[in-house]
Amino acid sequence: MGNDSIEKLTMPKWGLSMTHGKVVQWLVEEGASVSPGAEMVEVETEKITGAVESLTAGVVRRLVAGSGDEIPVGGLLAVIAAEDVPQAQIDQFIENFVLEEVEESDESADAEPEYVEVGNRRLRYLQRGEDGCPALLLHGFTGNLNNWLFNHSTLASDRTVFALDLPGHGQSSKDVGDGSLEVLIGAVAEWCESVGLDSVHLIGHSMGGAIALGVTLLVPEKVRSCTLIASAGLGSEINAEYISGVVSADRRKQLKPHLEKLFADAGQVTRQIVDDMLKFKRVDGVQDALTLLASRFVENGRQARSFRDQLSQMEVPLQVIWGAEDQIIPVVHAADLTETARVQIIESCGHMVQMEAAGEVNRLIESFLSEIDG
């Protein structure tokens, strides 16, 4: 039995700037049997802590990295193999795992963001994967394409997947027109046209979900399916204090309590997350853009726009995913949708469910899209 029967678990690359991760704790022991999708180890980055999952079935033959170790992207964390693989082969595999292999592997490489002019706006996007019917990831209010750092690469394993910085966000133009949702919907539809997407699976989180619904209604012939994650646009209730608080805060102590509402576990909000948000808000044009968007998105403490009554007009497959402990948009908005909507509620997760339960969310999306594409 050769080394092709030995599988490596390596440090993933979560986000464009990640170069290494710190092993927090192992969730399995040596000798344990694991299956694909099993959470193996918690890893801490400068941004956030997440779980690394096994991509294969087998036995954990060696935990190479220890708790507290700093491991570069692509570095070896553990070795998985069948029980009958000789220990000598495991030892040899680990000894032969050299940095040159890491540097040349796909794991350490990453796509570079691109820009396209759409109307009078310059929009940033990131493309991963190839073939298949493409998917487009749309982040929420004050977010950017890095909100999908636990999802993008996995979803791109069998199709092209784009992540977009919406107008007013990330490194896209800060021009948001009159601040209405219709401006963002139109910009996304134009972006799809500009990059040649004739058919696309839309995946939207929070405000991005409302935009996905709007695009579906605007150009239904181009939308293959719609996945909504903790989506706006399905009811009127929203945590207006969160929206106004995030917009107005200009100090760490002011901002952090609001960002903590995004997660079921407030400890997920690191100092780096807070600092990154403050840094973004200080970019020229951002404060005005966010203030205008917020004023149109939430009026009198409620969502200004709901697409719930128009769902029956949508003929595309619809999936709705929500965290049961969402403190921003209530999970009750996932109830009593169209009879054909596939609704998934994930326990012990908040508004950022695609981060908190990335593995489960990824599997739900992959299964949904695979069924549609056949």
Residue 81 sits in which domain range? 3-104
Answer with the one of 73, 104, 135 that is the final residue of a domain: 104
The whole-number pLDDT of residue 50 equals 84
Residue 177 lies in a domain: yes
Segment 22-41 mean pLDDT: 92
Residue type, 298: V
Q: How many domains does the chain have?
A: 2
pLDDT band at 214 (very low <50, low <70, confident <90, very high): very high
Q: What is the mean pLDDT of residues 258-282?
A: 93
pLDDT at position 106 is 46
Band (pLDDT 50/70/90 cuts) for residue 100 is: very low
Answer yes or no: do 247 and 335 share one domain: yes
Give me the pLDDT at residue 99, please.
47
For residues 65 and 182, state if they share a domain.
Answer: no
Q: Is residue 8 part of a domain?
A: yes
Residue 96's pLDDT band (cuts 50, 70, 90): confident
Mean pLDDT within 73-78? 90
Token reading at 195: 């990059």
Quick one: pLDDT at residue 20? 86
Q: Are 130 and 63 contained in the same domain?
A: no
Q: What angle do CA 255, 260, 261 make, to 5 degrees?
A: 110
93 within some domain: yes
Residue 109 domain flag = no
What confidence tier does 51 reach under pLDDT thresholds 50, 70, 90? confident
**What is the percentage of the chain residues whose pLDDT exceeds 90?**
75
Residues 75 and 95 in one domain: yes
Position 141 pLDDT exceeds 70: yes
Residue 293's φ and ψ, nearest 5 degrees, are: -60, -45
* Max mean pLDDT range (44-53, 149-158, 288-297): 288-297
151 and 265 together in one domain = yes
pLDDT band for position 230 (cuts 50, 70, 90): very high
Domain shared by 127 and 84, yes or no: no
Question: Of 84, 104, 124, at which residue does a domain stop?
Answer: 104
Domain boundary among the residues 104, 130, 160 is at 104
40 and 155 share one domain = no
The predicted model scores a pTM of: 0.85
Q: Which of 162, 202, 163, 160 is nearest to 185 (CA)?
A: 202
Least confident of 70-74, 139-143, 302-306, 341-345: 70-74
The pLDDT, as a whole number, for residue 110 is 67
300, part of any domain: yes
Residues 155 and 96 both lie in one domain = no
The verdict on 339 and 263 lying in the same domain is yes
Confidence category of residue 98, pLDDT binned at 50, 70, 90: low
Say whether pLDDT at 105 is over 90. Answer: no
Residues 42 and 82 in one domain: yes
User: pLDDT at position 374, please?
Assistant: 78
Nearest in space to 107 (alpha carbons), one of 47, 215, 21, 6: 21
Compute how many other C-beta atoms are within 10 angstroms of the C-beta atom of residue 84. Answer: 8
303 assigned to some structural domain: yes
Cα separation of 79 and 257, whole Å? 40
Please indicate, yes or no, whether residues 98 and 120 belong to a single structural domain of this protein: no
Residue 123 CA to residue 216 CA, distance in Å, equals 20
- Give the pLDDT of residue 4: 61
Do residues 126 and 144 lie in contact, with contact meaning Cβ atoms separated by under 8 Å?
A: no
* Nearest residue to 156 (alpha-carbon basis) of 194, 208, 106: 106
Q: Is residue 270 part of a domain?
A: yes
Q: How far is CA 257 from the centre of its chain?
A: 22
Residue 104 burial (10 A CB sphere; 0-12, 13-18, 19+): exposed
Assign 108 a pLDDT band (cuts: 50, 70, 90).
very low
In the prediction, which pLDDT does 107 show?
44
Q: What amino acid is encoded at 284 in this protein?
A: D
The CATH code of the domain that includes 331 is: 3.40.50.1820
pLDDT of 204 > 60? The answer is yes
- CATH code of the domain in which 76 resides: 2.40.50.100
Is 294 found in the same domain as 149? yes
- Residue 178 placed within a domain: yes
Return the SS3 of 362: helix
Kindly indicate the confidence band of residue 12, based on its pLDDT and cuts at 50, 70 and 90. confident
State the pLDDT at residue 37.
85
Element (H, E) at 322: strand 318-323
CB count within 10 Å of CB 364 equals: 18
Concatenated DSSP letters of 217-228: HHSGGGEEEEEE
- 303 contacts 326 by C-beta, under 8 angstroms: no
* Residue in 256, 262, 268 with CA at minimum distance from that of residue 205: 262
Q: Which residue has the higher pLDDT, 30 or 13?
A: 30
CA-to-CA separations, 129 to 111, 123, 159, 161, in angstroms, rounded: 9, 20, 5, 6
